[in-house]
């Protein structure tokens, strides 16, 4: 008979039964003592994504040791695709890690490294940035005291913000973020109150319930994030498997194909895409060929799962009063519930290129002349792209919300 110490987790009536009849099964016949590992961490929503945040000082100096930690924290790989044993949520937009610390370069305040974690596999992908989670990097840097706001000539004078506590003073700050994945700098501008990022406000984004404080993200010189070129293939349009595609590198390398060229309705839902393996296979084939031609990998098999992103675009025929075109993006093999911010930035840049697959789908009468309004599976998003007189892409701007959900320690085994 099992000892009382071993059997305590079973029902009392199980004590006198052989172990094969016990409701709770032991995996070993001898007791195993294994303490869980723990690390200081925070959990943030950024735009329509969520991620676990670490500081590099709390992680091993040897970065080759990061991958098993990240996988254990998120709960991957999970053949059931639910990540129940970790912090992930079973989809790519909820399977993310951000590492934020002091900057290594003079034109930035913090360094930020993004890791996309596979859900069913053990992939830890550092090849791209996440625009949605970028919106949480500035607030995290302030909340964690990595960036301490100083009310000087470079910052806005304190003002009263009626969206938060009545009479409380807020300060608008800009955190300069160096994304180590792409080598690009993003300026994040938002309000701070009593040394913490303001979370409450009247700004809303589609795909997230409620409202929050507005965060402005300005991607500085965003072209060529991985390839060094706006148009890595040298052409506005390329053809893969008989399908016309525009390959552009803004924020992240992206490939835009028209839904009609694949005989797909532009308003198709993410669930319908997920249930269409033939479509997903065709899109991945195009994506991999595009990745090779963009110089991201020597062969199709070597193309990373996260870049290039691939996106279906189509005219907003019946919704032209509310959006300029419709987009349906695939991220790490999964249909996105909204749209990755870096895809939106690339789409805005491509919308201004004559002859591109994106420009051909855009309305001639934009909803808002300040930018292009994208219709995605969860609503709409307006994003702007600014070219100079020489045709160089100087900046791309988008507005998001973000907030701290939890901070403390996270465990993995």
Structural domains of the chain sorted by starting position, each given as residue range(s) with its CATH number in brackets: 37-148+169-221+405-412 (3.10.310.10), 238-387 (3.10.310.10)
**Separation CA 256–CA 242 (nearest Å):** 14
Residues 6+ apart with CB under 8 A from 372: 324, 325, 347, 348, 351, 362, 366, 382, 383, 384, 385
Q: Are strands 309-315 and 252-258 parallel, antiparallel or unpaired?
A: parallel
pLDDT score at 59:
99
CB 272 within 8 A of CB 231: no
Give the model's pLDDT for residue 186.
Answer: 98
At 320 the pLDDT is: 85
Q: What tokens does 268 get? A: 């198709």
pLDDT at 319: 83
pLDDT number for residue 33: 54
pLDDT score of 317:
84
3-state DSSP assignment of residue 37: strand
> What are the residues facing 187 on neighbouring strands?
176, 218
Q: Name the DSSP class of 171.
A: E
Q: Which two tokens stand for residue 351?
A: 């919308």
Q: What is the pLDDT of residue 168?
A: 65
Render each residue's pLDDT in the chain as its tens digit; 413 residues: 444 344 343 444 444 444 443 444 444 445 555 899 999 999 999 999 999 999 999 999 999 999 999 999 999 999 999 999 999 999 999 999 999 999 999 999 999 999 999 999 999 999 999 999 999 999 999 999 999 998 643 444 444 444 445 556 899 999 999 999 999 999 999 999 999 999 999 999 999 999 999 999 999 999 999 999 999 999 999 999 999 999 999 999 999 999 999 999 999 999 999 999 999 999 999 999 999 999 999 999 999 999 999 999 999 988 888 999 999 999 889 999 999 999 999 999 999 999 999 999 999 899 999 899 999 999 999 999 999 999 999 999 999 999 999 999 999 99
pLDDT of residue 8: 40
Quote the pLDDT of residue 402. Answer: 99
Please state, in angstroms and as integers, the Cα–Cα distance from residue 9 to each residue in 13, 32, 34, 198, 412, following that order: 12, 15, 17, 45, 22
Task: Give rounded-to-5 percent helix, strand, coil for the chain.
Answer: 20, 30, 45
Predicted pLDDT of residue 298: 98
Q: Which two tokens stand for residue 19?
A: 């172990």
Angstrom distance (rounded) from CA 61 to CA 67 = 13
Residues 75, 66: Cα–Cα separation, whole Å? 14
């Amino acid at each position: 008979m099992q000892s009382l110490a071993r059997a305590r987790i079973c029902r009392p009536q199980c004590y006198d039964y052989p172990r094969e009849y016990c409701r709770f099964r032991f995996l070993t016949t001898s007791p195993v003592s294994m303490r869980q590992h723990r690390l200081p961490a925070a959990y943030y929503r950024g735009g329509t994504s969520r991620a676990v945040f670490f500081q590099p000082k709390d992680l091993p100096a040897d970065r080759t040791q990061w991958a098993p930690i990240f996988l254990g924290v998120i709960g991957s790989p999970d053949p059931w695709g639910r990540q129940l044993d970790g912090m992930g949520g079973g989809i790519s937009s909820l399977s993310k890690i951000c590492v934020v610390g002091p900057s290594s370069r003079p034109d930035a305040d913090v360094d930020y490294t993004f890791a996309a974690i596979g859900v069913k596999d053990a992939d830890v992908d550092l090849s791209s940035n996440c625009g949605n989670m970028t919106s949480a990097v500035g607030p995290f840097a302030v909340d964690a005291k990595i960036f301490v706001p100083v009310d000087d000539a470079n910052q806005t004078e304190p003002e009263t913000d009626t969206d938060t506590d009545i009479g409380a003073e807020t300060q608008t700050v800009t955190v300069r973020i160096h994304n180590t994945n792409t080598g690009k700098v993003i300026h994040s501008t938002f309000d701070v109150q009593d040394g913490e990022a303001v979370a409450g406000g009247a700004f809303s984004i589609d795909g997230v319930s409620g409202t929050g404080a507005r965060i402005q993200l300005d991607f500085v010189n965003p072209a060529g994030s991985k390839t060094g070129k706006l148009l890595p293939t040298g052409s506005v349009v390329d053809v893969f498997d008989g399908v016309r595609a525009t390959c552009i590198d803004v924020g992240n390398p992206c490939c835009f194909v028209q839904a009609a060229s694949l005989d797909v309705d532009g308003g198709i839902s993410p669930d319908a895409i997920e249930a269409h393996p033939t479509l997903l296979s065709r899109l991945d084939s195009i994506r991999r060929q595009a990745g090779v031609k963009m110089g991201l990998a020597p062969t199709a098999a070597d193309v990373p799962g996260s870049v290039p992103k691939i996106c279906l675009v189509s005219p907003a025929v019946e919704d032209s009063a509310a959006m300029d075109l419709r987009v349906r993006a695939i991220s790490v093999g999964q249909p996105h519930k909204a749209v990755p911010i870096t895809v939106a930035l690339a789409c805005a840049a491509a919308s201004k290129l004559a002859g591109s697959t994106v420009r051909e789908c855009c309305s001639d009468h934009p909803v808002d002349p300040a930018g292009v309004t994208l219709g995605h599976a969860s609503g709409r998003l307006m994003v702007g792209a600014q070219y100079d007189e020489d045709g160089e892409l100087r900046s791309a701007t988008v507005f998001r919300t973000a907030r701290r959900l939890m901070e403390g320690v996270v465990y993995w085994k």
